[in-house]
Structure 1
Amino acid sequence: MNRRVTIKDVAEAAGVGVATVSRVLSGGSASPQTRERVLAVAAQLDYRPSALGRNLRQRRTGGMGLLVPDLTDTFYGQLSEGVLACARSAGEPVVIGSTGGDPEQEADLIGMLLEQSVDRLIAVPSGDAETWAPALRAGMTVVFADRLPSEGTHEDDDTAALAVHDLMLLDGLPPAPRGRPLDVPSVVADDRAGIRTAVRYLRGLGHRRIAFLGGPGHDRRAAAFREAVGTPVDDDLVVFATGSRDSAYAAASSLFLSRPDLTAVVAGGNVLGEAAVLAARELDLRVPRDVSLVMYDDVPWAELCSPPLTVVAQPGRDMGYRAAELVMRSGGRRPRDVVLPTELIVRGSCGPRRP
């Protein structure tokens, strides 16, 4: 795959400085000979200026974007319905994109939305703060839903953020400061209360070896779980999968096989809950006789399971609606963060610990 041509490549081929290329491409002053040479080289190299850079200089015309990790996930479908309902009532068009939980793909979609003059964005973030800082510097109004960007920066997933950072530098634009927290409003569920309630419920049934099965974006839920079970925490009972269903199933199966002494599981999302149900069935573990299960997210199929699943319900549609309301309140002071309540719905997937 060919490397994308940068403004630095154009400058070197034309024998001028980066600032001169930027000035020519943005319509600034330059001698006729220099302008002709720069434009000819840019055309020959098929250089396309950074969308982030152009949008810092241009006034966008409006529109709303929505980025979620997985459009097939029932919870994100509910969240999307809420966004669309609010946008429809305001006559706002919405551009929807799926990031696949990939920070690099997320960065590409952010650039595409800027290119399409979308100036307001609701996102369930997959990347960290560095992925999002350039969009904010470009003037985009952002509201996070369901979760916040991770605070840390990892070498494996920071490629996209570094690429955008470098493009802004090459286009003669000041890059966003690295490592600073983002001042972005959010609409999230009360994960801490939801997980704490689930653990207390299982503890009340006599369970002591309780596992947590998490995925991308579940850092807050995992932290709440650790807090709820108290010290010392058995780290082998806190397991993470990647965003795919195959990974969730593999993590659940490995957990059951490696820790036959566990008696209960808290699944951090509906994909993980589905994986736990399937893995238990494959391993002939009976729910709740052999293992009790609580799933974070109430989705329609949870009631159809045998037995029906006990869940921590979070209001996905309301979350999307409130996020859309916030993102449309552009201008003025920063909107306050919204924390929505969760509810433990007890069904048949939990039972008393057996000796």
Structure 2
Amino acid sequence: MTKREPPTKEATVADVARAAGVSKAQAARALGGYGAVSEQVLSLVVAAAEQLGYRPNQLAKSMNTGRSNSIGVVVGDIENAHFGLALRGISDEVRGAGYTVVLVNTDEDLAAEAAAVQELLQQRVAGLIVAPCSSTETSHLEAAQAGGRAVVLFDRGIHDLALDTVRVDFEHAALRVGRLLLDAGHRRIGYVSSQRARAAYAHGMDLGLSPVADRVEGIERAFREAGAEWDPALVKLNATSDDALASACAELLDRPDPATAVVCSDSLIALGVLGQIKRRGLRIPDDISVVAYDDFPWTELIEPPLTVVAQPVYDMGREAARALLRRLGHRVPAEQLPLRANLIERASVGAPSPAADRIPQS
């Protein structure tokens, strides 16, 4: 019978301290990511830990610091590839700092989001990255902040709440979308989004610090520049399910004066809108033009390829993670990644049918 080797003893903080030639307290601070240590001590401890194969006792760390090695991420719809790619960026960034990610999907429901935040806090996550579904009902996030937990907002901001917020600058790209469609002759431009709202869209409605607010404002500004007014009934919010999206498309495409172009708030919305267009036997761009936000490979592979607004989603996730790590005391470069959107023109935008209304020429 082969003799079984005795299990190898795992390295402890004391072992790392001896190998690095520093005190146990210094090694604990360096390995735990709390307190102050010099760059020299940090370098010695990290090198010793790698040499010894040190693995931290996460239960002990949680008991000592009041937090675990997990980061809570709360998003509205993980089926949306936008959030999936952002999550990859978050995960890649925090892994290097010794954290794992706990993901919660809320279906853009406020009660589910509040419950998720509470559950993650009870799990002692080190911090939270949240894509909030409301810019006004934020007591759960305020409570997390007041309790000393690091919180970073992703994709959407909140008025009057001092939290790090990672968002893309859509001002120029959204204006270009409006100008592109107007210059092609479109006047009835639909916009479809899953953003929740308690009422139908009206000019001046507060959509919070959200990408939707920026994109709608960009199109409205383009209309103002052209001396025309955008019909608010063409903005369809609350497209949070297949049925709701089908209803929004019906209101845009089946009316007596149907939309001649549709702007889709994200790639998941775009797929649903394209399906509704196909069911009606409409051709792109001969019968209707389409623009989508987010540039994923399929948008270029379909026929015709979609005109899109590309945004650095992966880098958004990385920047959100960096902001959180800085809040947790990690040495993360202070410079921010450039988060700007860019319009990519392809073949899904053309002139409307001859019967379509035209923008008055000045």
Indicate the structure (1 or 2) with the bigger Cα radius of gyration. 2
| Distance in 1 between residues matched to 2:254 and 2:103, nearest whole Å | 39
| Distance in 1 between residues matched to 2:283 and 2:100, nearest whole Å | 47
1:148 aligns with 2:173: no
Preserved CA contact (<8 Å) 1:62 1:120: no
Q: 2:217 aligns with which of 216, 223, 226?
A: 223
**Aligned residue number for residue 111 of structure 2:** 104
**Could you say if the C-alpha distance between residues 77 and 282 of structure 1 is closer, same or farther in structure 2, counting changes exceeding 3 Å?**
same
After the TM superposition, which of the residue ranges 195-204 and 228-237 deviates more from structure 2? 228-237
**Aligned residue number for residue 262 of structure 1:** 259
After the TM superposition, which of the residue ranges 79-88 and 223-232 deviates more from structure 2? 223-232
1:184 aligns with 2:191: no
Matches within 5 A, 1:69-108: 69-108=76-115
| Distance in 1 between residues matched to 2:187 and 2:336, nearest whole Å | 35
**Could you say if the C-alpha distance between residues 347 and 225 of structure 1 is closer, same or farther in structure 2, counting changes exceeding 3 Å?**
same
Q: Could you state the TM-score of these two structures normalised by the residue count of structure 2?
A: 0.68
| Distance in 2 between residues matched to 1:320 and 1:136, nearest whole Å | 20
After the TM superposition, which of the residue ranges 64-73 and 207-216 deviates more from structure 2? 207-216
| Distance in 2 between residues matched to 1:101 and 1:336, nearest whole Å | 31
Q: How far did 1:336 drift?
A: 9.2
Matches within 5 A, 1:186-265: 186-216=165-195, 218-230=212-224, 232-258=229-255, 260-265=257-262
Give RMSD over aligned pairs: 2.3
2:74 partner SS: strand
Preserved CA contact (<8 Å) 1:119 1:141: yes
Q: How far did 1:185 drift?
A: 1.1
1:292 aligns with 2:299: no
| Distance in 2 between residues matched to 1:346 and 1:257, nearest whole Å | 27
Structure 1: where are the runs of 5+ without partners?
Answer: 1-54, 152-180
The one-letter code sitting in structure 1 at the alignment partner of 2:215 is R
Deviations 1:263-315 (A, max 9, x none): 21111111221122111111122110011110111122212322111100111
Structure 2: where are the runs of 5+ without partners?
Answer: 1-61, 196-209, 355-362
State the aligned residue count: 267
Preserved CA contact (<8 Å) 2:118 2:140: no
| Distance in 1 between residues matched to 2:151 and 2:234, nearest whole Å | 36
Q: How far did 1:78 drift?
A: 0.5
| Distance in 1 between residues matched to 2:143 and 2:106, nearest whole Å | 17
2:349 partner SS: coil
The one-letter code sitting in structure 1 at the alignment partner of 2:320 is A
**Aligned residue number for residue 113 of structure 1:** 120
Preserved CA contact (<8 Å) 2:186 2:352: yes
Preserved CA contact (<8 Å) 1:214 1:222: no
Q: Matched residues, percent identical? A: 33
**Aligned residue number for residue 310 of structure 2:** 313
Q: How far did 1:337 drift?
A: 8.3
Q: Which runs of 4+ in 1 moved over 4 A?
A: 335-339
Preserved CA contact (<8 Å) 2:169 2:341: yes
1:283 aligns with 2:262: no
Q: How far did 1:252 drift?
A: 1.6
Preserved CA contact (<8 Å) 1:210 1:265: yes
Preserved CA contact (<8 Å) 1:187 1:337: no
Matches within 5 A, 1:323-338: 323-330=320-327
